[in-house]
Structure 1
């Protein structure tokens, strides 16, 4: 068991190390990017990476508070599903109805890696190898696909 302080320190250390590892990687458009806090440019549309002591996930999360609008965004992603999977080089899991830790509804498209433990430094290379190519592929996908969502802004 880790203390709360140790958990926070290890979590921060991993994300700092990952951010430093990704810093020299340019975006698909050749720009400098904050990979950890990737900005999609659309409110309520996020690229999220999460890891804990059991699994890691990378996801496109649609968190619009209006269920109808969230459903429209999800349907729009379904329209470009083949392009997304082709760019990623793999199929991801599609979940139209999920709830977060606070019980708020959201939709997500995600890939999971398990078992893996963020708090075990020996697992960090596996985590980085999981997140890096998928995040770069999401950026490449979003560079073209974001314009599909302009009407939903």
Structure 2
């Protein structure tokens, strides 16, 4: 068991490692990008990555505080679901109504993997191999569909 400080240092070390691994890769538009803190450029739409004791995940989170607008965003993602699946090469889990760790309502489209731990450095290559292609694919997808969401 790790203290909070030790666990925080391990998590920080992982994300620094991930950032170094991703830094040379340009965005779909050919521009430098901060992959760890990816900015979608559309308020209330986030790409989130997480690595924890029992797995890792990557998600599109729609966190608009207005439930009606959040639903509209989710419906727009459903309208481009085939494009998303094509870009990712797989299906993700779709949740129209869920909450985050702070009990704030949101919609989430996510993919998770289990059996890896951020606290086992030997699992880091597997976590990176899980996150990297999906994040790059999300970036390509977003480059294509972002104008739809900017217009909302």
Q: TM-score, normalised by structure 1?
A: 0.98
The 5-angstrom pairing of residues 62-141 of structure 1 reads: 62-141=62-141
Q: Which residue of 1 aligns with 2:34?
A: 34
Task: Work out whether 1:145 is the aligned partner of 2:133.
Answer: no
Measure how far apart 1:151 and its partner are: 2.1
Q: Secondary structure at the match of 1:7?
A: helix
Distance in 2 between residues matched to 1:83 and 1:53, nearest whole Å: 32
Deviation at 1:123, TM superposition (A): 0.4
Q: What secondary structure, in the 3-state scheme, does the structure 1 residue paired with 2:151 have?
A: helix
The match for 1:15 is 15
Q: Which digits, 9 at most, give the CA deviation of each residue in 1:24-47, with x for residues without a partner?
A: 001111110000011101001000
Instruction: Give the TM-score taking structure 2 as reference length.
Output: 0.98
Query: Would you identify which runs of 4 or more consecutive aligned residues in structure 1 move more than 3 Å?
Result: none
Deviation at 1:126, TM superposition (A): 0.3
CA separation in 2, counterparts of 1:103 and 1:150? 27
How many residues align structurally? 152
Structure 1 residue 149, shift from structure 2 partner: 1.2
Aligned Cα root-mean-square deviation (Å) = 0.6
Structure 1 stretches of 5 or more lacking a match? none
In structure 2, distance between residues paired with 1:148 and 1:88: 19
> What runs of 5+ residues in structure 2 fail to find an aligned partner?
none
Q: Tell me if 1:49 matches 2:43.
A: no
Question: In 1, Cα distance between the equivalents of 2:131 and 2:95?
Answer: 20
